[in-house]
Each structure stands twice: as C-alpha cells, then as structure tokens.
Amino acid sequence: MYPAFPMTIALTQLLGLALLLPGSIAIAAAPNCGIVTIHEFGGVERSEEGPPRRPEIELRVPGKYCLDVPVLQPKLMERSGAREMTTLGGDGIILIGEDDVDLDLGGQLVSNERSLGYTLIKHYRYEPGRRQAHWFARTRISNGKLRSPGSRGIGMRLVAANRYGPAGFGTAAAVPPGEDLPDVLLDTRHRIEGLDIAAGRRAILIDGRNNTIRNNHIVVDGVTAIVAQGPGLVLEDNVIEVRGDLRGFSDHDRKLESRTPFPIRLIQADDAIVRNNRIRLIDRTAGPGLPAAIELVRSRNVTVEGNRFEGMDQGVSADPHSSHLDNGNEASACASAATRYLPPDEAGGENRQRTPACR
C-alpha cells in the first residue's frame, strides 16, 4: 500500500523543495536514509491520487536511500482498452544521477508489466550544462527484487554514456597510443548485492573498473544474463540461470543473440575474478547446450574458480587476446535426448516413470 498523501507536505518542507506534483509519493526515510520520491515520468501532472501510472524515481544527491514500498510500472492500455500502448517514451524507473548513491531496496519489488520490457534501474546523465559523457561512480544496489520480462526487459544498466568504443558499450574500447586501459575506463567500484532479478533480455549491464556483483539470484529468458566491461570485476556467489527462450524476440534480436550465446560476457575485464557461482541453462532438454558459460573478450589474467556449470559445452570461451586460470570448476553437461528412470520409491511402484535426465 502506498503511503497517504498528507505526509508529503512536511517532507518537502524538510527538504526545502517545491510542493510535490499531484500523483507524486514521498516515502518516509528510514533511519540514516534519504527520502525517496516516486513521481510521474517527465513531471507530468495528474489530477487523481494513487500510485503514478508511469512511476519514476530520481536520485541526484549522494547518500543512502531506502525503499519501503513496491514500485510497479503497469501495462498501459488505450482508452478503449483494446490494446496496449507500446510507443510511450521513457526507459527507466529508478534513475541514478550522481556518484556515491547507495540504494537499499528494503526487500521490495520493482517491476514492469509493459509487454516489450523496460529498464528498471539505470544511470541517468541528462542535466543542463553537464557533459553527457559523464561517468557515475560507487553506485550500490542491494536487497530487493527486480522483475522486467519482455524482449527489452533489463534489470539494471550501470553504463557510462561516452562512446569509448566504435560502437559503445559491449565492444572493446579503443586505447589511444601512450595510454592504458585504466585511462579509458574509470574506477567506478559499483556494488550489486543480494538481489533477486528476473528479466527478459539482460539482468545486469555494467562497465568501469573494480565493480562487484555478489550473492544474487538471476534469471533471464534469453541467453545472456550479465555483460560487464572493465578490469578488476569480482563476480562471486551468484546463481545465474538462463532459459535460452527467444520466442518473444524479433528476428533481428534473435540473430544478435545467436552471435553471443554466453550467460556471462566479460569485455576487457583484466584481472577479473569469477568464483563460486552456479551458472546453468534451465531447460537442458529442449535442444543443445550453450557453447560456454563465460565469454572473454580481450580480458587477460582472469581467474575462474569454484564455479558449477550446467548445460554448457565448456566453462570458458576466450578470444586470442584473453587468458584465464581455471581452478576447481565443475561441469555438468546434458544430452538433449537423454532420459532416466525414477526409482520405485519415487515412481510409485513397478510402473516406473520415464523422465528427462536433466531437469
């Protein structure tokens, strides 16, 4: 339940801000937490009370913030109710616009019901007078649930706006003569911890140096859950599951996904550590497994240890410019046509039930 509106006046006076627009909701700050205001996308006024139809949260001041209500982007229907509106702008519910923002989701759910999908949390750079190539550093997101199904559904996008590569994020950044990779990719030190993420396309997109993704449960409908670019990444103690189900994707997007069929893609991730993760293809009976759990692109001295890979042909696929150390990883392959018999105590007697070997 969203909090009552009379509380917003005292909170805005406390902050020295203008009165909130109709339809905005100010959430009382938990101890040591800043106030979170949920408003309509673009500051659009609404006459009715209740949760915003297109909720947006802007965090533009450093500090810790805590969420204590769920935030939902509902499906928006035309006035006739006959079909969904899919052309509305805006892509992001929680917009982070400054360094040193620590967001504790408080176990709450941030979710989207729009069919094509949505980005739930992202870095937001637009501000008059600010260069749009600005990086944000030391973002921390923890302790909550993210749900964004659909072919464009993304849990979070903590990515710099600058075009440091020929095609931007996801391709190797150009390193000018006389410079090193740390000169190109900022020391961001983002931390993503304790999240339950279910997304259609990607769970996490992140770049910069020395980022940490730890202790999360991640599920995506596609084949790639995490794309991380930059040295010093720590990716540990996560459960990362992919369905490999592209039925809701366009033909163009299916072709793109087929070029990089890896649950984790690491780009220029020198000295990254990938350890104690479970990385699995959920339905290993529907067809062949994935070629590898982790793709390395221009990533040197990567440590891959203590992971469990399920439904993958191999643990790591590395290009000629990459190197890695394997230590104590386990692999569980599964032939798509394989079957097994349940034992009598599970099958209920002598009529043994056949079931897929991998489930």
Task: DSSP for 253-319, please give it.
Answer: HHHHHHH---SEEEES-TT-EEES-EEEES-TTSS--BS-SEEEES--SEEEES-EEESBS-SEEE-
Q: How far apart are CA 331 and CA 200, in angstroms?
A: 25
> What stretches in the chain show pLDDT beneath 50?
1-24, 28-29, 47, 132, 335-357, 359
- CB-neighbour burial class of residue 113 (10 A; exposed 0-12, middle 13-18, buried 19+): middle
341, 353 contact by CB (below 8 A): yes
In a domain, 337, yes or no: yes
* Number of domains present in the structure of the chain: 1
Q: How far apart are CA 57 and CA 138, in angstroms?
A: 18
Neighbouring C-beta atoms of residue 272, cutoff 10 Å = 25
In a domain, 12, yes or no: no
What's the confidence (pLDDT) of residue 79? Answer: 62
Using DSSP, state whether 71 is helix, strand or coil.
strand
In a domain, 148, yes or no: yes
First-to-last alpha carbon distance for the chain, in angstroms, is 38
What's the confidence (pLDDT) of residue 17? Answer: 35
Neighbouring C-beta atoms of residue 247, cutoff 10 Å = 8
What's the confidence (pLDDT) of residue 253? Answer: 86
In a domain, 323, yes or no: yes
Q: How far apart are CA 121 and CA 265, in angstroms?
A: 20
In a domain, 6, yes or no: no
User: Domain range holding 306?
Assistant: 27-356
In a domain, 14, yes or no: no
pLDDT tens digits, one per residue of 251-281 = 888 888 888 999 999 999 999 999 999 999 9
Sign of CA dihedral 44, 33, 202, 249: negative
Q: How far apart are CA 359 and CA 355, in angstroms?
A: 9
324, 304 contact by CB (below 8 A): yes
In a domain, 2, yes or no: no
Q: Looking at the whole model, is its pTM more than 0.85? A: no
Q: Are strands 324-327 and 302-305 parallel, antiparallel or unpaired?
A: parallel
- CB-neighbour burial class of residue 254 (10 A; exposed 0-12, middle 13-18, buried 19+): middle
In a domain, 1, yes or no: no
What's the confidence (pLDDT) of residue 37? Answer: 82
